């Protein structure tokens, strides 16, 4: 199980939202790239999870300058939020992203998803953000009737390399992730799944380890690291068992 620290960017700041609510925001750093460097220096492997919160609402990449700075600093990263056309995918990859995360566009335009998966094999990830098991779009502002498990099967068929599953009702609440919902998605597909949302203690990481057998091999952690509940090194040690 790998640890993936998160850096969410809004208005040029490193922030965290509760349940995706833009009115429930905490600013943790005024320099997102420097924050990513702190996490990367402690992590030393894998990558950093970057979320463009402004882009998720605007429908376009709003942090390309930050992405280029991350690349120049030799910090590997994946990025999502507002990536909804081929031009933006190419721009983000050109800025140095290891992986590109599609969410809203993957749901609304399956042909586009298949096109970019074919063009960039192994580098296109689909973020499935769900509320009560149903997919949410547009920065979690638009709920749909699409079942998350059904959607997972569709994105695998389109060629996605990985799924990041976020349970919106767990995110930012520090009460633990939704293990079973994530495992249900992982069992439905043959591509790896990242669990996201709600990690609050080292015990939450330990409880996630058995789900590696279902294909859950990464854990995104945000707020708990920022609040100092544990360190990156401690998280890595627990994740490895």
> Could you list the active site residues?
8, 129
Name every residue whose Cβ is closer than 8 Å to that of residue 9 and which is 6 or more positions away in sequence.
15, 32, 50, 51, 52, 53, 54, 63, 66
Cα 204 versus chain centre, distance:
18
Question: How far lies 129's CA from each of 80, 121, 149, 170, in Å?
Answer: 12, 22, 11, 11
Coil, strand or helix: which one is 204? helix
The two three-digit tokens of residue 193, written as one number? 């799944």
Tell me which residue of 165, 94, 88, 85 sits closest to 125, measured CA to CA: 165
């Amino acid at each position: 199980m790998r640890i993936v620290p998160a850096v969410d960017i809004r208005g040029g700041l490193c922030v965290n939202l509760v349940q995706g609510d833009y009115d429930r925001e905490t600013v943790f750093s005024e320099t997102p790239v420097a924050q990513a460097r702190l996490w990367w220096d402690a992590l030393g492997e894998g990558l950093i999870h970057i979320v463009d919160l402004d882009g998720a609402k605007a429908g376009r990449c709003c942090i390309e300058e930050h992405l280029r700075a991350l690349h120049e600093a030799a910090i590997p990263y994946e990025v999502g939020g507002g990536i909804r056309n081929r031009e933006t995918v190419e721009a983000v990859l050109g800025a140095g992203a290891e992986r590109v995360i599609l969410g809203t566009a993957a749901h609304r335009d399956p042909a586009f998803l298949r096109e970019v998966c074919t063009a960039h094999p192994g580098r296109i990830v689909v973020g499935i953000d769900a509320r009560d098991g149903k997919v949410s779009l547009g920065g979690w502002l638009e709920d749909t009737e699409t079942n998350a498990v059904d959607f997972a099967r569709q994105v695998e068929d389109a060629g996605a390399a990985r799924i990041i599953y976020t349970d919106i009702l767990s995110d930012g609440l520090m009460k633990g992730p939704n293990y079973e919902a994530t495992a249900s998605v992982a069992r439905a597909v043959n591509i790896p799944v990242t669990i996201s949302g709600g990690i609050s203690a080292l015990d939450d990481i330990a409880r996630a380890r058995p789900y590696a057998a279902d294909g859950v091999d990464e854990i995104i952690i945000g707020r708990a690291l920022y609040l100092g509940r544990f360190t990156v090194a401690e998280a890595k040690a627990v994740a490895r068992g």
